[in-house]
Amino acid sequence: MLMGIKELDERRFYEIESVENNWSLRELKRQYNAGLYLRLALSRDKAAIKQLAEKGQIIEKTSDIIKDPYILEFLQLETQHQYSENDLETALVDKLEHFLLELGKGFTFVARQKRITFDEKHFYIDLVFYNRLLACFVLIDLKIGELHHQDLGQMQMYVNYYDRFTKLETENKTIGIILCQKKSDLVVEITLPENNDQIFASRYQTVLPSNEQLRQLLIQTP
């Protein structure tokens, strides 16, 4: 399988990740077909892309765990004409092992529909994880359709709550990820503060992408 990967840097990346994560052949094929290397490379400069080939995926800062898009083909939702956010959440929990592998290194599951309460009002966070490598909570909110600025504000509230009332002093700042089908990068940029390192919006796909399409995106990225 590895010898069939023509790009040398890409092959080296999968060699390292296969050993470090003890991937089975099936999981290696899934990660390759889901374009893991290419999706990670899209968010990195040339020096960081080279590091992927030399060291694999290194988790040192918040952005290192973020993917865009996330590939959720294992949910098999593409055969359904319509599904709700609750359907998506239930499917992710039912396939939690697969979702943890897609999220990446260091993730552990904490809670589903985590309730937080203040001013006699209840709010529910879709999914809560903890990343052991970054020593922080990771909150995930699921959105069907297009992302709106109100969704970013809501996630900011969740993150602020966890930072002030849940995390320990020895832990790092909470990360919030909104998974949506469609987003405007300009809306995200204008809504969030400059030098943001806590709130992220990523698209999700329920079908495997074309590796060739991902390669073209990588070529076009400055």
Q: Indicate the pTM of the whole model.
A: 0.90
Q: Which of 149, 201, 159, 211 is nearest to 177 (CA)?
A: 201
More confidently predicted of 45 and 35: 35
pLDDT digits (tens, 9 = 90+) for 112-126: 999 999 999 999 999
pLDDT digits (tens, 9 = 90+) for 149-192: 999 999 999 999 999 999 999 999 999 999 999 999 999 999 99
pLDDT digits (tens, 9 = 90+) for 76-102: 886 556 788 999 999 999 999 999 999
Which sequence spans correspond to the domains of the chain? 1-58, 61-209
Q: What is the pLDDT of residue 13?
A: 95
pLDDT digits (tens, 9 = 90+) for 23-44: 999 999 999 999 999 888 887 8
Q: What is the pLDDT of residue 111?
A: 97
Q: Both tokens of residue 212?
A: 């060739």
Q: Both tokens of residue 121?
A: 């009002």
Q: What is the pLDDT of residue 46?
A: 81
Alpha helices in the chain (DSSP H): 8-20, 25-33, 36-42, 46-55, 85-94, 96-103, 149-165, 185-191, 211-220
Mean pLDDT, residues 131-157 taken together:
96
Q: What is the pLDDT of residue 191?
A: 94
Mean pLDDT, residues 115-144 taken together:
96
Asked if residues 158 and 125 have their Cβ atoms less than 8 Å apart, the reply is yes
CB atoms within 10 A of CB 113: 12
Question: Residue 210: pLDDT band by 50, 70, 90 thresholds?
Answer: confident
* Per-residue exposure over 140-160, b if at least 16 CB sit within 10 Å of its own CB, e if not: bbbbeeebbeebbebbbebbe
Return the CATH fold of 61-209: Trna Endonuclease; Chain: A, domain 1 (3.40.1350)
Can you tell me whether residue 58 is helix, strand or coil? coil
Q: What is the pLDDT of residue 187?
A: 94
Quick one: how far is CA 58 from the chain centroid? 15
Strands 199-205 and 175-180: parallel
Mean pLDDT, residues 1-5 taken together:
94
